[in-house]
Every structure is written in structure tokens, then in C-alpha cells.
Amino acid sequence: MANRNFLGPAGTVLGPVEFWLLTLAGFALFFGTWSLVAWSGWMPSNLLPSPLAVWETLVRLWNNPFAGHVYAEHMTASIGRFLMGWAIAVGIGVPLGLLMGWYRILDEIVTPLFDSIRFVAPLAWVPLAALWFGTGIGGPLLIIFVGSFAPCLISAYRGARLVEPRLVEAAQMMGASGRQVIQHVLVPGAMPSIISGLRVSAGLGWQSLVGSELIVVGAGLGYLMVQGQGNLSTNIVIAGMIGIGVVGFAIDIALRGVEAWFKQRWGQA
């Protein structure tokens, strides 16, 4: 990845330096426009605070508890819930998708039900999760699971279906059992698709986080934002949004690294 290049307009290639300079220019344009609008008086400061005011709020939240916890504790609580819900989605969705791609009868049984419920938005599960789990950890985990599950299953299923039949036939001719074919042929062949699906599922699961924390919890970035709204503090709401964006970006960067490693490992870089 040290020599990684990026495609620019009309197929031109941008080096890493040019890429990051343009990235910084994009951030500068965004924050510059935000500052201009905030300081111009076009919108009241209580509705659109300046970036500096939000930064000062972040510093204050980092050192002083709000809604029972400092900012880092809210962030840690959200990350913990996300990782638990996402891990359950991966642990169920990936094996089920692989088995559906391998066993036709399982595909026929699961697909109609899966296609019926996967278009229900994660937020639509919030009332049901509240009724089922009340104020327990189960409600947020269910919402994050629902947001993450479909991409895990679909990517594993498609990966399994894209494995070349000749590789399966060769393994079977050499006496491999069904379990051995799945372990040594199906899983490695589907892995690039699975890893790509994990990035999508992590993004959707993290986006579902705020909805999951609408269920009564005692800490979390979504909880912080709801409490900020209740206190009519736009600064706190935006501070929570920034935390969600930064952590989500970090999760995606980490999974990009995993994806690049697997592609290199399997000769697809």
C-alpha cells in the first residue's frame, strides 16, 4: 500500500500527497463555509454554533461529566454496544450466508423470509426492541444487529456462489468431505466478498447506533445527543455527531486495512 495511487478526473492518477492535500482542502472548505454561515448571523448561534464553539464544548465535555459521564465514557459505551451487536451479526450472518450458498435447500428455505424482513429499517425495530427488552442491553444490540446482519449474509452468500465450480469438483475428486470443501475451498474463495461486506455492515451497524440509543440507556453518544437536545444545546448535539463520524471513519479505515491485507494475501491486490 506504500505506493498506492488514486484515480482523479478523466482517469488521471493522483499520488498520496495530492490525494491528502485535496482531502484537507475539502475539510477546509467545509469548515470555512460553516464558520462563515455561523459568524455571518444568518442563523442564530443557538441553532448553528461556530466550529470554535463546538470545539470548546468538546473540550468541556471531555473534562466535565454531562448526562452522568464524560465524553470519553459516552464514546466507549457506544463502541462497546456496537462491537457486541456487530459481532453477533457477523457470527450469524457470515456462516449462514456461506451455508446458503452451498446448500440449495437451505437457500430456498431462508431466502423468502430474509427478503421479506431485510427492507424493514433498523429504526422501525426500536418500539419492538423497547417492548421486548425494556431498558436492558438487548434492545440496542437488536437494533445494531438488524442494521449489520443483511450485508454480512449477502456478501458471504455471493462470495460462496462465485467460487469456481472446478475448484469444488477438484476437491471432491480428491476425496474431500463436505466440511473440508467448505473449510478449504468455499471459505477462502468467498473471503474477499465477505471482507467487503463487513465494511458495509459495520457502516450500517454504526449508523444504527443512534437509533439503538433512543432506547433508554445511561451512556453513549446517541444518549448524549438526546440529552443535549433536551437541554436545547445544539453544541452538545453537534459534538455527539462529530464523535459518531470520527469513530465511524476510524472503523472504516481499520476494515479497509483488513480488506487490503486479504486482497494481497490472496493475490488480488
Q: Are 227 and 219 in contact (CB under 8 A)?
A: no
Predicted structure pTM score: 0.83
Superfamily of segment(s) 49-265: MetI-like (1.10.3720.10)
Instruction: Report DSSP state, residue 69.
Output: B
Taking phi over 0 as left and psi of -120 to 50 as alpha, with beta for the rest, 232 belongs to left
Q: Residue 5's pLDDT is what?
A: 53
| Cα–Cα distance, 236 to 57 (Å, whole number) | 7
Q: What stretches in the chain show pLDDT beneath 70?
A: 1-14, 178, 266-269
Q: Residue 262's pLDDT is what?
A: 78
Question: How far is residue 61 from each of residues 65, 69, 193, 235, 240, measured CA to CA in Å?
Answer: 6, 9, 40, 11, 10
Digit-coded pLDDT (tens) for 57-85: 999 999 999 988 999 999 999 999 999 99
Residue whose C-alpha is closest to residue 4's, from 206, 257, 267: 257
Q: Residue 9's pLDDT is what?
A: 54
Digit-coded pLDDT (tens) for 218-228: 889 999 999 99
Cell of 122: 433498523
Going from N- to C-terminal start, the domains of the chain cover 1-43, 49-265
CB environment 80-102: b (16+ within 10 A), e (fewer): ebbeebbebbbeebbebbbbbbb
- Residue 177 dihedral angles phi and psi, to the nearest 5°: -75, 170
Sequence-separated (6 or more) residues with CB below 8 Å from residue 130:
139, 215, 216
Q: 14 - beta bridge partners?
A: 6
Q: Residue 259's pLDDT is what?
A: 81
Residue whose C-alpha is closest to residue 56's, from 71, 41, 69, 67: 71
Residue whose C-alpha is closest to residue 190's, from 100, 89, 115, 85: 100
DSSP SS3 for 49: coil
